[in-house]
Amino acid sequence: MLFALQPDRLRDEEITELEERLKSLILHQNINNNMPSKDCMSLNSPSLPSQGSSLSPQVTFLFQGQQFDNRMLTPDDHQKFAKLVSKKWKQVGRSLQKNCRALRDPVIDNLAHEYDREGLYEQAYQMLLRFIQSEGKKATIARLIAALEENGLTSLSEELLGLHSNEDDS
């Protein structure tokens, strides 16, 4: 079971770190040669961080006027998402793909085909699993909530954030 949780490719954060090291090498090489390079500027990095990712982790995020702690996705989040997202799992996956290389359109289509017999729950579960495996520590609740909101799935966002209470009695 532990083996199933191991990614079979580099995580996006590892790729980002490698890209930043390459940018740094190009920049240092150009400085040493006293030659400004357009190639360095085309790598779209206004400033190079000293270590790690250029994206600082978001500590909190705003949802419906309330502050929530940003955290990594939990197995409970994963299961709730798969259970409740229904047919819109592909749309959510496409929203997540904007910042996640592991969820490009062919991957989403392959997941739909590969897990067709198992149904929507398994398709949604596998899509979010790819996201979590690829993004590692950057697979946060804030990113998932943003993707859900983008696709009009506010009630699922509320469920994941624990805002749904059993007040249906009134």
Q: Model confidence over 88-111: pLDDT tens digits?
A: 999 999 999 988 888 999 999 999
Which residues have a Cβ under 8 Å from the Cβ of 12 and sit 6 or more positions away?
99, 100, 101, 102, 134, 135, 136, 138
Is the torsion defined by CA of 88, 90, 96, 98 positive or negative?
negative
CA angle 148–85–98, rounded 5-degree value:
40
3-state secondary structure of 112: helix
Q: What is the pTM of this model?
A: 0.64
Q: Is the pLDDT of residue 1 over 60?
A: no
DSSP H/E element including 124:
helix 120-135
For the chain, percent of residues with pLDDT exceeding 90? 52
Task: List domains and CATH numbers for the chain.
Answer: 60-161 (1.10.533.10)
